Amino acid sequence: MEKLIITAAICGAEVTKEHNNNVPYTVDEIGREAEAAYNAGASIIHLHVREDDGTPTQNKERFRKCIEEVKKRCPDVIIQPSTGGAIGMTNEDRLQPIYLEPPPEMATLDCGTMNFGGDEIFVNTENTIIFFAEEMNKRNIKYELECFDKGMIDMVLRLNKKGHIKEPMHFNFVLGVIGGISASPRDLNFLIGSIPEGSTYTVCAVGRHEFPMVSLSIEKGGHARVGFEDNIYLAKEVLAKSNGELVEKVVRIANKFGRVIASPNEARKILSIL
């Protein structure tokens, strides 16, 4: 099987220190958590940034400071800024990190609108998806196609045929989120079977579903994402002390299936970034 790419989603935009005191907010904390994940085996750092009080932000200068701190600690790691941001942000706010110089190697591209529960709606219209994709294409940024449901894959395939989304495509299947597809083997198999030959995919799932779904992805030849953004527990009622602990658990699972962990440069080759 292909070597395993591990992505660490180190802080997200929603989880707080009230949930787990180890969730990073400051530039130094984000650097520390990225380094812990990298040392444990992560080749990609999926990056949201916060103000020092924990408020999520897409501010370009805040991203610059955090990326510089991560690169100082982990020079060869792939940094993947989020363009999802937080609910209520404008498209212009969300896209700020892709306008850094030099541009990031990767960034996320959300592929549909989600009902996140209650009155929270995460809006990604067709025109938004096209605009984000074209802006990333201009800067030669590899997009990770964030799909929370099967219909989002269909949107990607349609926009690929129209020339907006380029191949080879790399998907991230996000499972178990309110309003999206469930975190079950049946539904993950359905998603895997829905993407074109030659595509790659990563799997993440929220809360208690994280490790069962990541394990299935590893077994099937896919890739894995863990981190405080998705899950703050190492095991039932055991809070993780760091993102590094979560990555270490993925490495142990990978060893059981005979999957070798990809270095950042090996991940670049697998994802056609190099």
Q: Sign (positive/negative) of CA torsion 259, 265, 268, 272?
A: negative
Instruction: Pull the structure tokens for residue 148.
Output: 């929370």
Question: pTM value?
Answer: 0.98
Backbone φ, ψ for residue 129 (5° rounding)? -60, -45
Instruction: Give the whole-number percent of the chain exceeding pLDDT 70.
Output: 100
**Complete domains list, the chain, with CATH:** 6-270 (3.20.20.70)
Instruction: Pull the structure tokens for residue 184.
Output: 């079950």
Q: pLDDT band for position 129 (50/70/90)?
A: very high
DSSP secondary structure letters along 196-229: PTT-EEEEEE-GGGHHHHHHHHHHHT-EEEESTT
CA separation for the pair 234, 237 (Å, rounded): 8
Q: pLDDT band for position 97 (50/70/90)?
A: very high
Q: pLDDT band for position 274 (50/70/90)?
A: confident
Instruction: Pull the structure tokens for residue 72.
Output: 């100082």
Residues 252/42, Cβ–Cβ less than 8 Å: no
Instruction: Pull the structure tokens for residue 112.
Output: 């549909």
Instruction: Pull the structure tokens for residue 248.
Output: 């270490």
Total length of the chain: 274
